[in-house]
Amino acid sequence: MRFRMEVFMTLSRNSAEQLSWALTKLKSRFTGKSESWVRRCLKRLRDVEEIEVGTWRVKGRFELGDRYPNYLVKVVNGKYQCSCHDPHKPYSRFRRRSVCSHIGAVILYRALRKLR
């Protein structure tokens, strides 16, 4: 419950302008990404929870093609890694090649947190 509350506050503390600034920043960082990828990242924003420094949990959503209830995003040696890249998971070979929208959501989440 505490998490839900925190998310609500995260979103309400950021204005529409801040959100569009963060989205523009995300698009310029990943220029090859489609508009639908950016939209998925935005949808996942409220599903991001920082569980420890450098580690975030992103709730899985079946409507976004997720097969698991939760994904873990970590920063390892300065690079983002997501548990959907784990080699034992289906489609991981395909997914590993690109930055997934779980990571994109964490990048958005962090950009917005910095503004507070």
- Residue 57 burial (10 A CB sphere; 0-12, 13-18, 19+): buried
For residue 26, state whether it binds Zn ion (rule: CB under 5 A).
Answer: no
Q: Which is nearer to Zn ion, 60 or 112 (CB)?
A: 60
| Cβ–Cβ < 8 Å for 71, 81 | no
Binds Zn ion (CB under 5 A): choice among 100, 105, 107, 111: 100
Identify the residue whose tokens are 């990242």. 41
Identify the residue whose tokens are 């975030």. 56
Binds Zn ion (CB under 5 A): choice among 44, 49, 102, 109: 102
Sole window of 2-10, 11-19, 43-51, 96-104 interacting with Zn ion (rule: CB under 5 A): 96-104
Tokens encoding 43: 């949808």
For residue 40, state whether it binds Zn ion (rule: CB under 5 A).
Answer: no
User: What is the rounded CA–CA span in Å between residue 25 and residue 92?
Assistant: 27
For residue 105, state whether it binds Zn ion (rule: CB under 5 A).
Answer: no
Identify the residue whose tokens are 């506050």. 9
Binds Zn ion (CB under 5 A): choice among 22, 26, 48, 84: 84
Binders in 43-82 for Zn ion, by CB under 5 A: 82
Residues that bind Zn ion (CB under 5 A): 82, 84, 100, 102
